[in-house]
Amino acid sequence: MDYTGLVNEFFEVDGAQLAVRCIGDPSIGPTLVMLHEGLGCITQWSDVPDRLHNSTGLPVVVYDRSGYGRSSPGPSYYGPNFMYDEAERSLPDLLNLLAIKEPVLFGHSDGGTIALIAAASGRVPATAVVTIAAHIFVEEACLNGVREITRRRDQVLTGMARHHNDPATTFDRWSNVWQDPKFAQFDMRGDLPQIKCPLLVLQGDRDEYATAEMIQGVTDKVPHAIGHFLNECGHIAHREQPELVVAELTNFLNNLQK
């Protein structure tokens, strides 16, 4: 199925019009809130939101951050604190607007980092957090991955054009901030002990943007966190093995209810 034709609602959040897709009523009980990667958007989750809704029975909210997908243009450049800005301002405002009182944050890559920051900050009343390939500091493996994909920029933009209003700005903003020397100091490990809700940290065993330290660093700081490597998966595990990701998340949430 071609998900690029999905019809979204638009909500004004922090001065931007954000594209939002809701499956079920997000104002009733726990709701899965999906946070996309640094080059992602609603449609690049493909059918994973629908699979998660069917598997967990929970409402699902997935949205395009400002400057992504069909949302209004974001800044041309990101500052070093861009993920903190999203976690502590835009995300809480969107949750309040949608009357989501029990969010279960599910984030991939940059979106996973945003989920961790949001839960640690206390600005979002997360009932649980699940991440795939979240970054807790800047490591050389990630920078190598960014440099490699930047060398293929034109090819990548061709694919992104189906999903984003302004793929060139979206790509360059992400690529530039990750390679900015000012961003090299990004390190959220000191925030992690503030996460009190249940936490599942997933990562592909073949992640080309990270080492095992991205899981180990979380479980060292959050004793109750569950870290798990996904076999035969790279960075975008939900694209490579969606059934496995859905099963992991569903089992995690089911175990919380026991």
Could you tell me if 222 and 199 are in contact, meaning their C-beta atoms sit under 8 angstroms apart?
Answer: yes
Phi, psi at residue 163, to the nearest 5°? -115, -20
What CATH number labels 7-253? 3.40.50.1820
Confidence of residue 149 (pLDDT cuts 50, 70, 90): very high
Q: Where are the alpha helices (DSSP H) in the chain?
A: 48-56, 82-85, 91-97, 110-121, 140-151, 153-160, 167-178, 213-221, 237-240, 242-256
Q: Write the DSSP string, 178-200.
A: HT-GGGGG-B-GGGGGG--S-EE
- Is residue 191's pLDDT more than 60? yes
CA–CA distance, 247 with 106 (Å, rounded to integer):
14
- Is residue 258's pLDDT more than 70? no
More confident residue, 237 or 74: 237
Rounded to the nearest angstrom, the gap between the alpha carbon of residue 162 and the centroid of all alpha carbons in its chain is 20
Rounded to the nearest angstrom, the gap between the alpha carbon of residue 103 and the centroid of all alpha carbons in its chain is 14
| CA-closest candidate to residue 172, choices 29, 54, 75 | 75
Q: How many residues make up the chain in this entry?
A: 258
| Predicted structure pTM score | 0.96
Give residue-wise pLDDT tens across range 54-64: 999 999 999 99
Give residue-wise pLDDT tens across range 82-136: 999 999 999 999 999 999 999 999 999 999 999 999 999 999 999 999 999 999 9
- Is residue 17's pLDDT more than 60? yes
- Arithmetic mean of pLDDT over the chain: 95
- Is residue 5's pLDDT more than 60? no
Give residue-wise pLDDT tens across range 217-247: 999 999 999 999 999 999 999 999 999 999 9
